[in-house]
Amino acid sequence: VAVLNSKYLPYYLGLLLNFGNMMNYGDARRGNAGAVNLSLLDKLELTKDNKGKSSLFTYLVTTVKVRRPEALHLIDEMKPVLTANVMQISWGDMEMAMQEAEKAVQVFQNHCTLVKKKLVELGTDAEDPFVPFAVEFTMRVTGELQELRQHYGRLDNTRIKFLQYFGIIDAKKKPEDIFSQLVPFIERVRRSMQEMVKKERRNMKKGQKLGDGEFAHVVQKLQEQVAL
């Protein structure tokens, strides 16, 4: 949800899309892309300028700093992503757990039906405590399973929106595959922000008052949010 509601992530991706289209100008296919391939995020630092010094990632952060410095607060928006260990969550495991829960309830209901049938044959169903217990338990578990299905359905809808957000048409794509590419990128942005704050502090030690530099309007927030 943090990704879908982000104000600033689309700006970063939009810049990267523009960079890519400009770099591939003249190529009918690659120079007219409509979305960013997330697999490129971990290659930004490998793409250098013609002097081999500055990377495309550095150019991206510098462009954000100059054109829209408030977008440096991307790290604030992405805190839930960075702190929730999202890459350890497996959508496949969730699907399997849902299937196993449904199977377990069905097996229990089948056993209850067989036991009740046997009790009826013996004529002891009216007085056996198992029958009302089984009915009450089955109703409760069935209700909980229905609630679980609803939660799972909402999660699956969010997953589909998540894929669409990144222009991914493969409906079987798993969220953890995307997070494995997105989270390291956000971490690099965070480290870059840390360096910005450190630079401001070095400037202060040199006699430049903290906050008088080019990051004056974001330094205070960065200091509050970024763990140095």
- Say if residues 25 and 31 touch (Cβ distance below 8 Å): yes
Residue 64: the pLDDT is: 92
pLDDT tens digits, 161-198: 988 888 888 888 888 888 888 989 999 998 988 887 78
CA atoms within 13 A on the CB side of 114: 6
pLDDT tens digits, 138-161: 888 888 889 988 998 998 898 899
- Rounded to whole angstroms, how far apart are CA atoms 164 and 158? 10
Homologous superfamily of 2-87+174-221: Formin, FH2 domain (1.20.58.2220)
Residue with tokens 């809808």: 157
Cα–Cα distance list, 78 to 72, 115, 155, 228 (Å): 11, 53, 19, 17
Side chain identity at residue 195, one-letter code: E
- In the predicted structure, residue 101 carries a pLDDT above the cut 60: yes
- In the predicted structure, residue 212 carries a pLDDT above the cut 60: no
Q: Which of 17-31, 110-124, 187-201 has the lowest mean pLDDT?
A: 17-31
Q: Specify the pTM.
A: 0.67
CA atoms within 13 A on the CB side of 150: 6
Q: What percent of the chain has pLDDT over 70?
A: 84
- In the predicted structure, residue 210 carries a pLDDT above the cut 90: no
User: Once rounded to an integer, what is the mean pLDDT over residues 54-64?
Assistant: 90
